[in-house]
Amino acid sequence: MLKNVDASQLKVGMFIHDLSCDWMTHPFVRNKLLLRTQDEIRKIVDAGIHDVVIDVSRGLDVADAPTVEETAARTEAALAEIAARPAVVARTSLGEELRRAAEIRQQAAAMVRSVMQDARLGKAIEVDRVAPVVQDITESILRNPGALVGLLRIKNKDDYTFLHSVSVCALLVSFCRARGLDAETTYQAGLGGLLHDTGKALVPDAILNKPGSLTDEEFDIIRKHPKDGYDILRKSPEIGQIPLDITLHHHERHDGSGYPGKQAGAAISELVQMAAIVDVYDAITADRCYHKGMSAAEALRKIYEWSKFHFNPVFVQEFMRCVGIYPVGTMVMLESGRLGVVIEAHETNLLAPKVNVFFHTKQNAYIRPETVDLSRALGFGGGDKIVRHESPQKWNVDPMRFMLLA
């Protein structure tokens, strides 16, 4: 049986099933381990980890701890409440925007690659070259936030660093728009998102792409990247305070467990708090050489759970309404047994998006693709509901192929 326990309840002899945090937070080679020493427990606590999952069939128990199923049920109930609040509505269709978004994705990734190369050579960042990319991303988000964000979920290990920066920019712009922030603030936040990892240009590739756990010395090196990026950007007089702040503090956490300054609560600016959520969300949904990415829906649930400590809970809920409980591009199982891919959030019910269905699991066969509006009744293009999100790998399908219907 799996149970959720607070880190303060850990004892030698317990078996950790999941450290329940993003990969950069914990100092262990793997998420599963038998606690053998007090030093291992101290490392977990010092890493700012609050909740862990233990397997009581393989180690000591905590009698009154909730099971994973009980915790998940509470999370789902909370998400259902969040889902009933208004969401951002697209101005143009997904199909109309996807083609433009594909070009923007390619151009923006190339720009970030160029910025990283300049930083590695000690050159100042030319903001005039970067600004049009941020503007293109912003305009795409305004037309249809799901198109570019959906495309940016596709990354490979060779372009991850660059596309991660583009993703953070796009998600942060979308987040700002959802919160009703003004155009200049949104632009500055987007610029900060695009440049937030500039300091990684100074981190050796062997550390950035290491398949196993980092040593303490390697952790120290990679945790220098916010300050390194800040120092690089300061060489450009055109860079404003918002991008500088995001670059320096995007790894700070609400409970003070982050870095480099261990800032906490209101000491962290609102835009930085937003950037921190976006940064982790994009990182944990990506496949890397050292971990398998979560689905977007699963990642949102994790971030919601972590918001008790690491993130501002209000901002996390607003971010979830911004991207949707089931973000565009998420593959889902419907009650009818059909598989589909989410193409558009519903304005007032995030649990009832529009879905392109393409496969029937009960028949184990592809079906004629059609768009199902889950907010509508049977006979009016709806009459179904989402049971859960599904792994594309499990069914060996690429959901992006079914984002558009012929």
**Average of pLDDT values for 352-381?**
86
Of 274, 293, 323, the residue that ends a domain is 323
**Closest by CA position to 254, among listed 274, 238, 239, 234:** 274
Of 323, 348, 376, the residue that ends a domain is 323
Report for 1-15, 169-183, 213-227: range of highest mean pLDDT: 169-183
Does residue 16 fall inside a structural domain? Answer: yes
Using the 8-state DSSP alphabet, how is residue 295 labeled? P
Torsion, CA 220, CA 226, CA 229, CA 234, rounded to 10: -130
Report for 27-31, 53-57, 70-74, 122-126: range of highest mean pLDDT: 122-126
| Res 196 pLDDT > 70 | yes
Both 298 and 344 in a single domain?
Answer: no
Question: Which residues does residue 53 pair with via DSSP β-bridges, in sequence order?
Answer: 4, 18
**Closest by CA position to 201, among listed 277, 119, 266:** 119
Whole-angstrom Cα distance, residue 386 to residue 405? 20
Does residue 56 fall inside a structural domain? Answer: yes
pLDDT per residue as tens digits for the range 104-129: 999 999 999 999 999 999 999 999 99
Phi and psi at residue 371, to the nearest 5°: -90, 130
Both 315 and 371 in a single domain?
Answer: no
pLDDT of residue 406: 44
Both 217 and 366 in a single domain?
Answer: no
Does residue 84 fall inside a structural domain? Answer: no
Confidence band for 30, pLDDT divided at 50, 70 and 90: low
Both 105 and 60 in a single domain?
Answer: no
List the structure tokens of 103. Answer: 């070009």
Confidence band for 24, pLDDT divided at 50, 70 and 90: low
- Contact between residue 6 and residue 28 where contact means Cβ atoms under 8 Å apart: no
pLDDT per residue as tens digits for the range 78-96: 776 766 666 566 678 888 8
- Contact between residue 309 and residue 303 where contact means Cβ atoms under 8 Å apart: no
Report for 55-59, 85-89, 268-272: range of highest mean pLDDT: 268-272
pLDDT of residue 4: 84
**Closest by CA position to 172, among listed 204, 195, 206, 198:** 195
Both 100 and 175 in a single domain?
Answer: yes
170: CB partners within 8 A, 6+ apart: 137, 140, 141, 148, 149, 152, 190, 193
With 0-12 CB in 10 A as exposed, 13-18 as middle and 19+ as buried, what is 18? middle
pLDDT of residue 229: 96
Does residue 83 fall inside a structural domain? Answer: no
**Average of pLDDT values for 200-209?**
90
Whole-angstrom Cα distance, residue 263 to residue 249? 8
**Closest by CA position to 196, among listed 154, 147, 245:** 245
Does residue 48 fall inside a structural domain? Answer: yes
| Res 371 pLDDT > 50 | yes
**Entry pTM:** 0.83
Torsion, CA 329, CA 334, CA 337, CA 341, rounded to 10: -10
pLDDT per residue as tens digits for the range 378-405: 755 567 889 988 888 888 888 778 887 6
Does residue 373 fall inside a structural domain? Answer: yes
Does residue 87 fall inside a structural domain? Answer: no
Both 307 and 208 in a single domain?
Answer: yes
Both 216 and 266 in a single domain?
Answer: yes
- Say which range, 7-16, 125-134, 199-208, 260-269, has the weakest mean pLDDT: 7-16
Q: How many CB atoms lie within 10 A of CB 380?
A: 9
Both 130 and 263 in a single domain?
Answer: yes
- Contact between residue 225 and residue 202 where contact means Cβ atoms under 8 Å apart: yes
Confidence band for 23, pLDDT divided at 50, 70 and 90: low
Confidence band for 236, pLDDT divided at 50, 70 and 90: very high
CA distances for 311 relative to 42, 281, 345, angstroms: 22, 12, 24
Greater pLDDT, 239 or 23: 239
Both 291 and 384 in a single domain?
Answer: no
pLDDT per residue as tens digits for the range 148-177: 988 888 777 678 889 999 999 999 999 999
| Edge-first strand listing for the sheet containing 365-373 | 365-373, 354-360, 338-344, 331-334, 386-389
Number of domains in the chain: 3
| Edge-first strand listing for the sheet containing 51-55 | 2-6, 51-55, 15-18, 33-34
Of 323, 356, 378, the residue that ends a domain is 323
CA 270 and chain centroid, separation: 18
**Average of pLDDT values for 133-156?**
89
Annotate 255-280 with b (16+ C-beta within 10 A) or e (fewer).
Answer: bebbbeeebeeeebbebbbbbbbbbb
Average pLDDT score, the chain: 87
Whole-angstrom Cα distance, residue 384 to residue 376? 9
Both 237 and 138 in a single domain?
Answer: yes
The residue segments making up the domain with residue 227 are 94-323
Confidence band for 49, pLDDT divided at 50, 70 and 90: confident
pLDDT of residue 263: 95
pLDDT of residue 27: 57
**Average of pLDDT values for 122-143?**
93
List the structure tokens of 17. Answer: 């099933």
β-pairing, 2-6 vs 51-55, is: antiparallel
Both 128 and 243 in a single domain?
Answer: yes
User: Could you tell me the maximum CA-CA distance found in the chain, to the nearest angstrom?
Assistant: 63
Whole-angstrom Cα distance, residue 7 to residue 41? 8
Does residue 147 fall inside a structural domain? Answer: yes
324: CB partners within 8 A, 6+ apart: 87, 146, 342, 345, 350, 353
CATH number of the domain within which 209 lies: 1.10.3210.10
Report for 72-81, 224-233, 325-334: range of highest mean pLDDT: 224-233
**Average of pLDDT values for 310-324?**
91
Both 318 and 348 in a single domain?
Answer: no
